[in-house]
Amino acid sequence: MKYVTLAKHKLPVIVIAGRPNVGKSTLFNRLAGRRFAIVSDQPGVTRDRKSVDILLNDRSVTLIDTAGWEEDDPETVHGRMRISSERAVDMADVILFCVDARMGITPVDEHFAQWLRKQGRKILLVVNKAEGHSGNVAALEMYKFGFGEPIPVSAEHGEGIMDLVDRIEVELPIEQFQDNSALNISLENSEDKPLRLAIVGRPNAGKSTLINQLIGEQRVITGPEAGLTRDSISVSFHDEKGEIELVDTAGLRRKARIDETLEKMSVSASIEALKMAEVVVLVIDAELGIHEQDLQIARLIEREGRCCVIALNKWDILKDRVATRQTIRDRIEMSLSQMHGIPIIAFSALTGRGVHKLIPAVRKAYDIWNKRIPTGELNRWFEEAILRHAPPMIDGRRLKLRYITQTKARPPTFILFGTRTSKLPLDYQRYLMNGLREIFDMPGTPIRLQFRDSK
């Protein structure tokens, strides 16, 4: 769990910078609000800036927003921006340089980037307003800043925020431990941060029973998260590979109080949980078989780009196990193309039999979700795939596909370059997607395939 700690030493400073209107304030609020607890007021950070101490994963940091300063004199926007940003940037360990995916790169952005480059700070390029699929394509354009891999987010819709947090975390300076035992507890696992796991499913599928099995005697700390979230509790446990944090078990507790809306709650609680999670275990009552609502949750998992393990529970009371497993697999794969090859584990949460298979499956799914494939390997496969099965003619003209590259992981995301790629039929897209999945061994993980016309 996260702890509230009054840290007296200087925390790493993250500064949000960029021209007006790119969404800096929105990003600030998104990072400051949500699930991150406010830790303390950092002395030494002047009050005229919006600044807040927050927890990013397991690290306390000070977040500073430069929004609002540069807007008071629009006549000399460059000059003012520079002066007002200078002091914040001076303190920064990491700068989040924000641009707008919809507007593309403006002269003001270029000017600002040029100045930032000279400041000798770590810079992450955040491409905001990248909701939906436009984001990654716009992000590609932004490579030319030379600030490394752009990070597409939508501050307003909360997309891509976890990726951003992960990227920030990598850039933070090594923690200087002080003699502060409370702080040491909270940072114990900051090197090896826990895998965030959500356990979701319909009411009575056996989620609580499963959690009790998983935690067993190892129960670490449960209790209300101090600060922001009212009734979210978090539980963690260890396996031989490290810590696993069960996120948002609050959804489980809440249901005990509100009986009549149980069915609805299980879907909405799942949404919350899976936004915070990296891996999602969808628990299904195998005796009842798969239900439309299970598929609905699975679709959400797919849409949010999380990886998933299906858990068939109550295996102890099942008569025809082989047929049940097959029926459920067929239903899932028929309704969810992205879940092809998804791991399905069967057990009895009640007796504990078979539960030991779950966490290794979770770890494996997580590794696949994080997978990165070198561009060379990808294109060797790609050439062959196109040779074997050429893209179709559209209006009598051949549609050209040139090359493919992976732009990110979590989930694996690829961009395919060619001409008239928007015309590529769905079944051909599926052919490529299935090929990727099979050749590079990525069963059960959502794969994002995007297209871009090159000249």
Residue 103 or residue 226: which is nearer to ligand GDP going by CB? 103
Task: Kindly determine how many residues on this chain lie close enough to bind ligand GDP according to the rule CB under 6 A.
Answer: 31
Confirm or reject binding of residue 350 to ligand GDP (CB under 6 A).
Answer: yes
Q: How do 151-152 and 195-201 pair as beta strands?
A: unpaired
Confirm or reject binding of residue 316 to ligand GDP (CB under 6 A).
Answer: yes
Residue 14 or residue 401: which is nearer to ligand GDP going by CB? 14
Q: Which residues, 361 to 390, sit near ligand GDP by CB under 6 A?
A: none
Question: Quick one: how far is CA 116 from the chain centroid?
Answer: 27
What's the one-letter identity of residue 40?
A: S
Confirm or reject binding of residue 50 to ligand GDP (CB under 6 A).
Answer: no
Residue 55 makes CB contacts below 8 A (sequence gap 6+) with 2, 36, 37, 39, 61, 186
Q: Contact letters (x/-) for ligand GDP, 84-123, by CB under 6 A?
A: ----------------------------------------
Stretch that binds ligand GDP, among 217-225, 237-245, 348-356, 407-415 (CB under 6 A): 348-356
Contact with ligand GDP (CB under 6 A) among 204, 337, 429, 450: 204
Burial degree of 97 (CB within 10 A; 0-12, 13-18, 19+): buried
Confirm or reject binding of residue 22 to ligand GDP (CB under 6 A).
Answer: yes
Burial degree of 271 (CB within 10 A; 0-12, 13-18, 19+): middle
| Distance (Å, whole) CA 448 – CA 67 | 33
Confirm or reject binding of residue 429 to ligand GDP (CB under 6 A).
Answer: no
Question: Cβ of residue 345: shortest distance to ligand GDP, in angstroms?
Answer: 12
Looking at residue 221, what DSSP letter applies?
Answer: -
Secondary structure (3-state) at 61: strand
Contact with ligand GDP (CB under 6 A) among 21, 119, 229, 337: 21
Q: Which residues, 246 to 285, sit near ligand GDP by CB under 6 A?
A: 252
205 is annotated as contributing to ligand binding = yes
| Distance (Å, whole) CA 285 – CA 361 | 19
Contact with ligand GDP (CB under 6 A) among 91, 126, 155, 200: 155
Of 83, 67, 75, the C-alpha closest to 23 is 67
Q: Hey, what are 68's tokens?
A: 């609002």
Residue 240 or residue 259: which is nearer to ligand GDP going by CB? 259
Looking at residue 37, what DSSP letter applies?
Answer: P
Confirm or reject binding of residue 129 to ligand GDP (CB under 6 A).
Answer: yes
202 is annotated as contributing to ligand binding = yes
Confirm or reject binding of residue 45 to ligand GDP (CB under 6 A).
Answer: no
18 is annotated as contributing to ligand binding = yes
Q: Hey, what are 439's tokens?
A: 């050749």
Residue 259 or residue 292: which is nearer to ligand GDP going by CB? 259
251 is annotated as contributing to ligand binding = yes
Burial degree of 206 (CB within 10 A; 0-12, 13-18, 19+): buried
Question: Cβ of residue 49: shortest distance to ligand GDP, in angstroms?
Answer: 12
Residue 219 makes CB contacts below 8 A (sequence gap 6+) with 235, 237
Q: Hey, what are 430's tokens?
A: 């599926």
| Distance (Å, whole) CA 22 – CA 323 | 54
Confirm or reject binding of residue 26 to ligand GDP (CB under 6 A).
Answer: yes
Stretch that binds ligand GDP, among 169-177, 198-206, 267-275, 320-328 (CB under 6 A): 198-206
Contact with ligand GDP (CB under 6 A) among 206, 391, 412, 418: 206
Confirm or reject binding of residue 134 to ligand GDP (CB under 6 A).
Answer: no
| Distance (Å, whole) CA 444 – CA 342 | 4
Question: How many CA atoms lie less than 13 Å away from 375 in the CB half-sphere?
Answer: 10
Secondary structure (3-state) at 376: helix
Question: Cβ of residue 314: shortest distance to ligand GDP, in angstroms?
Answer: 4
Of 147, 63, 62, the C-alpha closest to 112 is 147
Q: How do 94-100 and 307-313 pair as beta strands?
A: unpaired
What's the one-letter identity of residue 399?
A: L
Stretch that binds ligand GDP, among 300-308, 344-352, 357-365, 398-406 (CB under 6 A): 344-352
Contact with ligand GDP (CB under 6 A) among 1, 25, 137, 419: 25
| Binding-site annotation: residue ranges for GTP | 18-25, 65-69, 128-131, 201-208, 248-252, 313-316
**Contact residues: ligand GDP, CB under 6 A:** 20-26, 67, 128-129, 131, 154-157, 201, 203-209, 252, 313-314, 316-317, 348-350
Which parts are annotated binding residues? 18-25, 65-69, 128-131, 201-208, 248-252, 313-316
